[in-house]
């Protein structure tokens, strides 16, 4: 009779086994005591890992104590060499971590950049990363032009500017203004002034010239007069109430020929018109005064030779203004009633008018010691002249008789201004009471006849007109062509210049 295991299942699921007829013996039943059925296998780690398939992984995987699947990262596994050829490549076998570097489109559909960790060599795509990488490499040398956005070139700019009614463009891009109402202007520079006239160029701070504007600038002042037509005439000013007299001085006359007035030597182009030289007797008896002009050129001309000044009297030497030049000096010497040189019995006062930067004023004086000889005392060689004063001074002890005539360029007399006119001892004579004009190359010539021991000094004051050069010029031109002539002139006082073409 076979032995049958008998048992009883208590309420706590423990199975009490009875062997043989020994029924009281009891034992707990475990999986080791229960036979597996093919469809109900016991749980083991090996069976679980075998049942898990993550993607398509060739080769074999040795499983460690713990397995966590999270995205493409499989932690806590040992990786065999056979999986390195598949879709998962291990980057660290020592740390038991496998990181997927490439997957196929059919592998692990749940993989996204949201759950895949970046590596330094494989960053995710972003627009900012693309711009930072690509833009520094973009230049006109490697970016393809589009028809709507062409690169800048001089040739394209010139081609884009179409020459029309108002501008023309040369091959080099130079823009010229044509006749019209529109003018192409640059902010700080005009490259070409062709066809730009005052008719189509707006005025700025620099106004155009007009006769009205020019006349308005000038106001009648020292030495000029402007009529309603804008003609400027240099007439000088009358000494009476002349507010342009800007120099004055004086002092006692010494016993030697001493300087009472020194004209400034600079600027060399200034001129000075002596308006007054007044000598007053400070003694109770008749006194005498001598004087001369020492010119900067070294020439000396006497204007007084012991002229008597009565007690309580005075002598004015200047009737018409006498012209002086930079560096000239006026010297005076005093004598008592006995003719002895004496200081401080006379004093003198002078006034003069200054003409700035005007070399057209001419003052010439000289002493003539040889009688019966024609001597040029003024030469209007470069232009016409307005002569305002001719003074003759007797510097001898006799009475010379003076001849002065207006001559042409060859010294041939035209008109006598004085003929055998006596000049008393110790006196001077002003020949002119009104200005006289000399034409270009005209001269003034003086002479005197007298006994021995006589001499005279002459003083001429004049204003030179426009200075110009006379010359010949032969122009060459083709038949029916234009003739171009060039004239050089220095027009100093606004007078007209005449020319003849033959």
Q: What value does the mean pLDDT take over residues 473-491?
A: 62
pLDDT tens string 131-163: 888 777 777 777 788 888 888 887 777 676 655
pLDDT tens string 483-496: 666 655 554 444 55
pLDDT of residue 82: 36
Least confident of 174-188, 244-258, 460-474: 174-188
Domain boundaries, the chain: 245-355, 361-467
> What pLDDT band is residue 314 in, cutting at 50, 70 and 90?
very high
pLDDT tens string 89-126: 444 444 444 444 444 444 455 667 777 788 877 888 88
Sign (positive/negative) of CA torsion 126, 128, 129, 131? positive
- Report the alpha-carbon distance of residue 295 to residue 249 in Å, rounded: 19
Query: The domain 245-355 is classified under which CATH number: 3.30.200, 1.10.530, 2.60.120, 1.10.10?
Result: 2.60.120
SS3 135: helix
pLDDT of residue 390: 95
Give the fold, CATH level 3, of 361-467: Jelly Rolls (2.60.120)
SS3 143: coil
Extract the tokens encoding 429.
Answer: 């004579």
267 — phi, psi (to 5°)? Answer: -75, 155
> What pLDDT band is residue 274 in, cutting at 50, 70 and 90?
very high
The beta-strand segments (E) located in 43-180 are 61-70, 73-79, 89-92, 97-99, 167-169, 175-177
Its pTM surpasses 0.75: no
Hey, do 245-355 and 361-467 end up sharing a CATH topology, with the first three levels equal?
yes
Closest CA to 289 of 365, 250, 329, 344: 344
pLDDT of residue 119: 83
């Amino acid at each position: 009779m076979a032995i049958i295991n008998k048992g009883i299942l208590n309420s706590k699921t423990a199975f009490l086994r009875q062997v043989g007829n020994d029924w009281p013996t009891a034992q707990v039943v475990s999986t080791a005591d229960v036979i597996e059925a093919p469809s109900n296998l016991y749980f083991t780690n090996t069976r679980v890992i075998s049942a898990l398939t993550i993607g398509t992984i060739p080769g074999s995987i040795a499983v460690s104590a713990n397995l966590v699947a999270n995205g493409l990262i499989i932690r806590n596994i040992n990786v065999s060499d056979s999986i390195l050829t598949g879709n998962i490549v291990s980057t660290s076998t020592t740390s038991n971590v496998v990181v997927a570097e490439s997957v196929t489109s059919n592998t692990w559909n749940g993989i996204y950049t949201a759950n895949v960790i970046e590596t330094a060599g494989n960053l995710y795509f972003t627009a900012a990363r693309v711009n930072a990488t690509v833009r520094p490499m973009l230049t006109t040398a490697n970016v393809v032009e589009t028809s709507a956005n062409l690169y800048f070139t001089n040739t394209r700019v010139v081609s884009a500017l179409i020459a029309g009614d108002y501008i023309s463009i040369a091959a080099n891009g130079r823009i010229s203004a044509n006749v019209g109402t529109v003018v192409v202007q640059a902010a700080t520079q005009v490259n070409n002034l062709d066809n730009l006239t005052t008719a189509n160029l707006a005025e700025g701070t620099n106004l155009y010239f007009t006769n009205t504007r020019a006349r308005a600038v000038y106001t009648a002042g020292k030495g000029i007069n402007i009529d309603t037509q804008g003609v400027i005439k240099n007439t000088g000013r009358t000494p009476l109430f002349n507010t342009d007299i800007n120099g004055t001085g004086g002092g006692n006359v010494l016993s030697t020929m001493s300087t009472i007035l020194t004209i400034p030597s600079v600027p060399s182009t200034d001129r000075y018109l002596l308006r007054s030289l007044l000598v007053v007797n400070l003694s109770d008896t008749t006194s005498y005064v001598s004087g001369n002009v020492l010119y900067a050129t070294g020439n000396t001309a006497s204007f007084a030779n012991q002229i008597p000044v009565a007690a309580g009297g005075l002598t004015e030497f200047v009737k018409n203004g006498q012209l002086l030049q930079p560096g000239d000096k006026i010297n005076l010497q005093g004598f008592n009633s006995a003719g002895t040189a004496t200081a401080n019995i006379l004093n003198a006062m002078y006034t003069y008018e200054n003409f700035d930067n005007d070399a057209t004023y001419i003052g010439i004086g000289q002493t003539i010691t040889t009688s019966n000889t024609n001597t040029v005392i003024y030469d209007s060689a470069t232009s016409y002249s307005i002569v305002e004063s001719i003074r003759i001074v007797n510097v001898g002890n006799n009475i010379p008789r003076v001849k002065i005539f207006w001559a042409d360029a060859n010294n041939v007399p035209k008109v006598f201004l004085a003929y055998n006119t006596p000049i008393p001892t110790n006196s001077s004579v002003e020949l002119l009471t009104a200005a006289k004009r000399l034409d270009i190359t005209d001269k003034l010539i003086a002479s005197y006849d007298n006994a021995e021991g006589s001499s005279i000094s002459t003083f001429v004051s004049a204003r030179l007109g426009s200075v110009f050069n006379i010359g010949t010029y032969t122009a060459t031109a083709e038949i029916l062509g234009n003739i171009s002539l060039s004239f050089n002139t220095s027009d100093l006082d606004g007078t007209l210049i005449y020319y003849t073409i033959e």
